[in-house]
A and B are shown apart, each in its own frame.
Chain A
Amino acid sequence: MSTSTDAPASCPFSGAAAEASSISPAKARPSSETGAEAPSADWVTIADLHDDPFPIYQKLRAQAPIHWVPAVNRYMVTSYAAAHEIEQNEADFTANERESLMKRSMGHSMLRKDNPEHQIDRDSYGKTLRPATIKNHWNEIFAANNDKYLNELQAKGPGADFVWDYAAPYTAENLRLICGFHNASQQDMQRWSQSMIDGTGNYADDPAIWAKSAESSAEVDAAIAEMLPYLAKNPDHSLLSGLASMPIPLEAIRANLKMTIGGGLNEPRDVLATTVWALLNHPDQRHAVQNDDALYSKAFEESVRWVAPIGMYPRETTRDLVLEGIALPQGARLGVVLGAANRDPQVFDDPESFNIFRPKKAHLAFGGGVHFCAGTWIARAQVAQIALPTVFRRLPNLRLDPANASVDAGWVFRGMTKMPVLWDS
């Protein structure tokens, strides 16, 4: 148990002192022993997952760490130990899956490559997303954007939607500048992001969704083509500016930027709204953060544990193996369910509760291993350091609208889809 209250010297994301913890779930090394067949969970439906996946995850995890789920056409991995092993073990679990909808929608980005190819792309992002650049450059820009979009929310008045009238445009505008799309608007970013994400999730193969996704993809290609020569002459701190002077194929630039537009917008937007929603539903914890700004980073980390904004991502086995006692054939398509692993009772006490005061342990919301979220520190800065404290300071007596209920939804991506709020103006 720690008694230290020292904040990190100059880190822009100082969290309150954590309690000592050692994360030691059962070791889950893949073995060559004979494993059991994965139980089939034919009772799981996409519609139920979309509404509320957590009771389903509880039931699955209690039965086995890995199931075959016909509705999803994948093995769903729901235990912390198995998910953690998969993300640390690239050799047995490749990110470069066959017939990837993400590749079709966005091109072959670093998220679907293994090392060494992945590392070349990852390194091409340079210093843009790293803490020193955030501290010296982005924080001031995020703060200005935050003021602008909070002003717009306040102008709209009580009853406005916290997600669509504030969190979405705020995070979209931040991402626009991080990417370097000086020829686009935050509305373009939102449209591009949603339509390409819809393509990535188009398991029903709906032609209308593919058409919209392709249209956005072409618009992004055109915007990149216009920005690269401009940024080569007028460099700034953006991703495209760094890429403009790098010997990296245009195809990789396009795919990586599209992946970033997908993952860099919805995730901080959803964390921001989900965290505020959770705090508004837990008055004691809301009271605590309002009296101690250092607790906002705890609220952020607990929020992404509790509702991981990316709830599931794909991997594929490269050989026959046994993971946590379950036999998986070579080429098995896996869904690594972070939303379930983050509520594994083997690791977290009372895992279904939102509790910013729980003993800190490593959650898996940002993924792990070589694909650890490149935007982790950007998200922490724009949401926990800048948005959350300002929201509660500027909107007195902020509360959910009792006459117009909020809606939380999704499972591959989960967040607030509607969140009307009131405050004393």
Chain B
Amino acid sequence: MPTIIFSQSDQSATEIEVSEGTTLMRAAVSNGVAGIVGECGGQAMCATCHVYVDPEFSAELDEIGEDEEEMLDCTTAARTEYSRLGCQVKMSAKLARIRVSVPNEQV
């Protein structure tokens, strides 16, 4: 099973092993990772599971969809080229040991 590494601004990190198909948001919320809220349960509707994906994995991710695109404009922390909604990124073997940074602000 692939592993996700959530890193916080205080340099602490949490490694979580999940089955393929699990989203970053679900993995974080189920394991109590601080700073990922996931209010809307994964419908790309609330913009509270914002993460910054490590650049080395950018090319491996699916393209940003229309719903995710408009919601990324509504994140509380500034959007960057590495911004994604955790609920729209599903884990797969090629994303094994993906590292994502949790923003300081989510609501």
Residues of chain A whose beta carbon lies under 8 Å from any beta carbon of chain B: 2, 4, 6, 8-11, 13, 15, 17-24, 27, 88, 122, 130-132, 301, 360-362, 366, 368-370, 372, 374, 376-377
Contact = CB atoms under 8 A, between A and B. Distances in A.
Interface of B: 9, 29, 32, 34-35, 37, 39-41, 43, 45-46, 48, 66-67, 70-71, 73-79, 104-107
A89 to B, nearest CB: 10
Contacts of A366: 39, 46
Given A370-B41, A372-B45, A8 B29 contact: no
B105 A18 contact: yes
Contacts of B35: 22
Given A2-B104, A2-B105, A24-B34, A15 B76 contact: yes
A360 B9 CA distance: 18
A23 B37 CA distance: 8
B104 A362 contact: no
A24 B75 CA distance: 20
Given A8-B79, A362-B48, A88 B73 contact: no
Contact of B70 (A4, A122, A130): A130
Q: Is the interface of B mostly helix, strand, loop or mixed?
A: loop
Nearest to A135: B70
A233 B9 CA distance: 53
B74 A11 contact: yes
Contact of B105 (A17, A88, A369): A17
B6 to A, nearest CB: 12
Given A4-B105, A8-B73, A132-B66, 14 more contacts: A8-B78, A9-B79, A19-B105, A20-B104, A24-B32, A130-B67, A131-B73, A361-B107, A366-B46, A368-B39, A370-B40, A372-B39, A372-B45, A376-B46
Contacts of B78: 4, 6, 8-9
Nearest to A129: B45
A362 B67 contact: no
Contacts of B67: 130
B77 A4 contact: yes
Nearest to B33: A22
Contacts of A130: 45, 67, 70
A20 B105 contact: yes
Contacts of A368: 39-41
A288 B105 CA distance: 22
Contacts of A9: 73, 78-79
A362 B37 contact: yes
B53 to A, nearest CB: 18
Q: Is the interface of A mostly helix, strand, loop or mixed?
A: loop
Given A4-B105, A21-B107, A88-B29, A131 B41 contact: no
A370 B71 contact: no
A22 B34 contact: yes
Nearest to A13: B74
B71 A372 contact: no
B70 A132 contact: yes
Contacts of B74: 8, 11, 13, 131, 377
Given A4-B78, A8-B74, A11-B73, A372 B46 contact: yes
Contacts of B105: 2, 4, 17-21, 360
B74 to A, nearest CB: 4
Contacts of A362: 37, 39, 48, 106-107
A39 to B, nearest CB: 28
Nearest to A6: B78
Given A13-B74, A362-B48, A372-B39, A4 B29 contact: no
A411 B105 CA distance: 31
A361 B39 CA distance: 12
A8 B46 contact: no
Contacts of B9: 20
B107 A360 contact: yes
A22 to B, nearest CB: 4
B69 to A, nearest CB: 8
A131 B44 CA distance: 11
Q: Which of A10, A301, A372 has the most CB of B within 10 A?
A: A372
B13 to A, nearest CB: 15
B40 A131 contact: no
Contact of B76 (A10, A18, A131, A374): A18
9 contacts: A8-B73, A10-B73, A18-B76, A23-B37, A24-B34, A130-B45, A362-B48, A366-B39, A369-B41
B67 to A, nearest CB: 7
Contacts of A301: 107
A22 B35 CA distance: 5
A130 B73 CA distance: 12
Nearest to A366: B39
A131 B66 CA distance: 11
Contacts of B70: 130-132
